[in-house]
Chain A
Amino acid sequence: GENVEQHPSTLSVQEGDSAVIKCTYSDSASNYFPWYKQELGKRPQLIIDIRSNVGEKKDQRIAVTLNKTAKHFSLHITETQPEDSAVYFCAAILTGTASKLTFGTGTRLQVTL
């Protein structure tokens, strides 16, 4: 089955700096890679996703890149703000099959003033 590794487990950046979170996956067939943000005491919510036929996707200050050859995908947050402080999870799945959504272990991002 799929295995997703996520690094770092914690990340502290100053407001205005950029943050990068990296994930690797094991199943080369996986074709959908979402990123979830979980604020304290809340449910995880999708912030951005990418499919295997795309190398990069951007949404305002958030971008995701995918390297299928290396089986890596990364989340980039630019101009970080205090409200970006949360736990971020990456995930991977092969859609349209009986496979399951597999999450990384999470990254706790702290944006300091």
Chain B
Amino acid sequence: NAGVTQTPKFRILKIGQSMTLQCAQDMNHNYMYWYRQDPGMGLKLIYYSVGAGITDKGEVPNGYNVSRSTTEDFPLRLELAAPSQTSVYFCASSYRTGGNTEAFFGQGTRLTVV
């Protein structure tokens, strides 16, 4: 049971490049989330999903896209990277209901756009 796995751990992008941050969980969780955390700041929700085939915008979705074709995977796509997207990105997952709705986080992806 690996939990929530994010890849890569670090990445440097040039302005205008694109990339996909990968997130996979093996706990059969319904909910999955993508957050970004700027230095010294809180967690801002980018996108979330309540199940396969269902995604919704969070508070800072501009410049990002997601898909949820399977329960396990929730990739985050950055198109035309900008310096403002320099941040640490966390993926998280949880059960939708039941006795244990704890959200588990991946180890994070540190992205720098130069």
Contacts and interface: CB of A to CB of B under 8 A. Distances in A.
Given A46-B103, A93-B101, A98-B50, A103 B42 contact: yes
Interface residues of A, number: 20
B48 A100 contact: yes
Taking residues whose C-beta sits less than 8 angstroms from the other chain, chain B's interface range is: 20 to 34
B86 interface: no
Contacts of A103: 35, 42-43, 45
B94 A105 contact: no
Contacts of B43: 44, 89, 103, 106
Interface stretch (B20-28, B63-71, B76-84, B104-112): B104-112
Given A96-B96, A103-B42, A106-B42, A45 B105 contact: yes
A54 interface: no
A106 B43 CA distance: 8
Interface in A17-40: 32, 34
Contact of B90 (A34, A43, A104, A106): A43
A89 B92 CA distance: 14
Contacts of B56: 98, 100
A4 to B, nearest CB: 10
A100 B33 contact: yes
B74 interface: no
Nearest to B95: A95
Contacts of A105: 41-42
Interface centre among A89, A91, A103, A105 (most CB of B within 10 A): A103
A23 to B, nearest CB: 12
Listed from nearest, the 8 A-B pairs whose CB atoms lie closest are A96-B97, A43-B105, A105-B42, A106-B42, A103-B43, A100-B48, A95-B101, A98-B50
Interface of A: 32, 34, 43-46, 49, 89, 91, 93, 95-96, 98, 100-106
21 contacts: A34-B102, A43-B90, A43-B105, A43-B106, A43-B107, A43-B108, A44-B43, A44-B105, A49-B102, A91-B103, A93-B101, A98-B50, A98-B56, A100-B33, A100-B45, A100-B56, A101-B92, A101-B103, A103-B42, A103-B43, A106-B43
